[in-house]
Structure 1
């Protein structure tokens, strides 16, 4: 497929997302099944067009004067991918798969200067979230929003139970992997421009042998900050598919015990195969059922709560969720987080540590939840996040990452990672 055909396909996918209100990933998969003539390169390019359109939907719509699928896709071609009037005219000529050629008005609109646009437009965030983001990041909040609208890198974590980062880099040399800046076992492949394809590393021999896992560097960092040590008893209360359980097991060198639990059986299902492939021997999966964790009350050295949240930190990867987020959903997540923190503290022994983690950048889900928890449970103290950073990562905590309440917030702009929050609390002994 040539560029015009890819533009037409992206417009079709976005229209499908809008009309059926289904996730982008599902719409792209459905398009691929209905158009099997499209090769892997075509599907990657169409996906990039769709995701780029959603990442900057607000600014593209403002410039084009429309948020229609056509306007958004043409904006990506002209504003993000560097196409020009001349290049599009040439590309569209004689292409029977092309949409209607862009008009002079559309081409002119794509060049709109956004300097005078409202801050939320320039930040590419829902307007109702502007006060929250300004509270979180101060005068830099627009730039932080812009950072959340870029393409993410592909990050991996070398599994210390089976391989070194150097071994993984050698195995994936054809993809030109690089060490991450922060996570000591991290490996990254930066996102490419335009129609660049993301490497399919899960077909690599090293992945099949458990040498590495796909895991954003930010997720690796907060897992390391949780501070699990050899020989400890650790509860991963919201284990999901097991990404942080695997990281904790590697940190602990397969010594001690991790109890991996999640209230959703479907989310937990992939963990069994992943534990086996990674060579993890110190993790015990507890399936959700009445009394599943009763024997752990008051006994855990460490409880990790990777709480369900709005996912604002993952907007680069799931930009459609940015525009679906509502105040009602945020309130629901806050209630779930409060309930999980209250539950988690009961499993700790005196002197045990609670690691509260979210993939959110909103203070309502982060510092506010910790403040409310501490008000209800005065026997907890906040641990020094800078000291935890030095202990886990053997470097000094970079300026600007600590939050007012003593937690930590990572963002694409600050750390080149997804957005993550981590706060460490010790139970009085």
Structure 2
């Protein structure tokens, strides 16, 4: 397929997403099933246009004065693919599978509009109702941070130190663009793709099948490392999900001590069993029933809560979620977080740590949530987060927002990671 056919297909997928309010992955999969003639390169390019259009929906739509699937599809190519209005029309001209060329009115709009003149929320590529939340979190840097959440993400890997070291994995991944991560000591980063490119299928690598590494954003790796799991500890990962942080904690513990992985939704836990087998993590016990947690009450050195949240910190990877999110959903997540904190704190032993993590950038899910928890539960005090960060990552003092007693925030613009929040509370002895 030429660019015109790929753009037309992307517009078709975007229309489907808008019409049926469905996740982008589902819409792309269904398009692929009904267009089996499309090769892997075509599907990757179509997916790139769709994801770029959703990441840059506000700014692309503003250029055209319209937010139709056509406008944001064309806009994605102008903003992210190095195209101009003239080069696009030249590329599409004569392609019978292409959408109609840019009209005179569209050409005029693009020629007259400059993103630098756009409203702040447009330049940040966020819904209007989210703009005050980002400004609260980032102050004067909120537009820059919003724009960073609208960029293409890298592919990050975590070396499983139970099976390999970083040099060994990098040697296996030679030719993929893989390089050491900027901060995470066991992290590897493959840079964001350009244009119609695609990331290598690292899960097909023999090194992945042998358990030498896992796919995990560097921010998630840093949050797990900050938790301070150590050999011999008793640890509860209360919202383990598919087990990404569970495996990272197990590696930090060198397979010694006990690590209990729990999640209220069994379906979320399902992938953890294969991941444990592949990675050779031997100190993990999966506990799916709440009643089975009762003997752990008051005995855990560390309880980690990777709380369900809006996922606003992952908008680079899931841009469709940005436009589906509502204030009602934010309120629902806040209620869930409160209930989980109130329940999970009971498992922390005197002198133990309660660690709260989200992949959200909203204070309402982060510092405000922890502050409210401390008002409900006496005996929990924040650790010195500046000291914690500096001890763990001494060469990266400026790579995170650190509010002392208010936790640690990671973000794309400042940290080069997804948006994450971390706060550790110590229970009085």
Which TM-score band (shorter chain)?
A: over 0.9
Offset at 1:198?
1.4
- CA shift in 2, pair 1:337/1:290, >3 Å: closer
1:87 aligned partner: 87
Report the secondary structure of 1:155's partner residue: strand
Offset at 1:347?
0.2
Offset at 1:97?
1.0
1:365 aligned partner: 365
Work out whether 1:245 is the aligned partner of 2:246: yes
Q: Which moved more, 1:328-337 or 1:191-200?
A: 191-200
1:409 aligned partner: 409
Q: Are the counterparts in 2 of residues 64 and 110 from structure 1 also a CA contact under 8 Å? A: yes
Q: Are the counterparts in 1 of residues 137 and 363 from structure 2 also a CA contact under 8 Å? A: yes
Return the TM-score normalized by structure 1: 0.97
- In 2, Cα distance between equivalents of 1:242 and 1:12: 35
Offset at 1:85?
3.6
- In 1, Cα distance between equivalents of 2:79 and 2:295: 58
Offset at 1:404?
6.7
| Superimposed CA distance per residue, residues 208-258 of structure 1 (whole angstroms, 9 cap, x where no aligned partner) | 000000000000000000110110000000000000000001111000010
- In 1, Cα distance between equivalents of 2:329 and 2:252: 34
1:9-88 alignment to 2 at 5 Å?
9-88=9-88
Q: Are the counterparts in 2 of residues 75 and 110 from structure 1 also a CA contact under 8 Å? A: no
Work out whether 1:223 is the aligned partner of 2:238: no
Offset at 1:90?
2.8
1:310 aligned partner: 310
- In 2, Cα distance between equivalents of 1:148 and 1:405: 26
Return the TM-score normalized by structure 2: 0.97
Q: Are the counterparts in 2 of residues 78 and 107 from structure 1 also a CA contact under 8 Å? A: no
2:258 aligned partner: 257
Q: Which runs of 5 or more residues in structure 2 are unaligned?
A: none
Q: Which runs of 5 or more residues in structure 1 are unaligned?
A: none
- In 2, Cα distance between equivalents of 1:163 and 1:104: 59
Q: Are the counterparts in 1 of residues 385 and 403 from structure 2 also a CA contact under 8 Å? A: no
Work out whether 1:385 is the aligned partner of 2:385: yes
Offset at 1:292?
2.1
Report the secondary structure of 1:293's partner residue: helix
Q: Which moved more, 1:58-67 or 1:271-280?
A: 58-67
1:130 aligned partner: 131
RMSD between aligned alpha carbons? 1.3
Work out whether 1:291 is the aligned partner of 2:252: no
| Superimposed CA distance per residue, residues 22-66 of structure 1 (whole angstroms, 9 cap, x where no aligned partner) | 100000011111111111111111111001001011111112111
- In 2, Cα distance between equivalents of 1:162 and 1:298: 33
Q: Are the counterparts in 1 of residues 401 and 408 from structure 2 also a CA contact under 8 Å? A: yes
Count of equivalent residues: 428
1:279 aligned partner: 280
| Superimposed CA distance per residue, residues 117-175 of structure 1 (whole angstroms, 9 cap, x where no aligned partner) | 22111111111122121111111111110111100000000000001011111111020
Q: Are the counterparts in 1 of residues 234 and 302 from structure 2 also a CA contact under 8 Å? A: yes
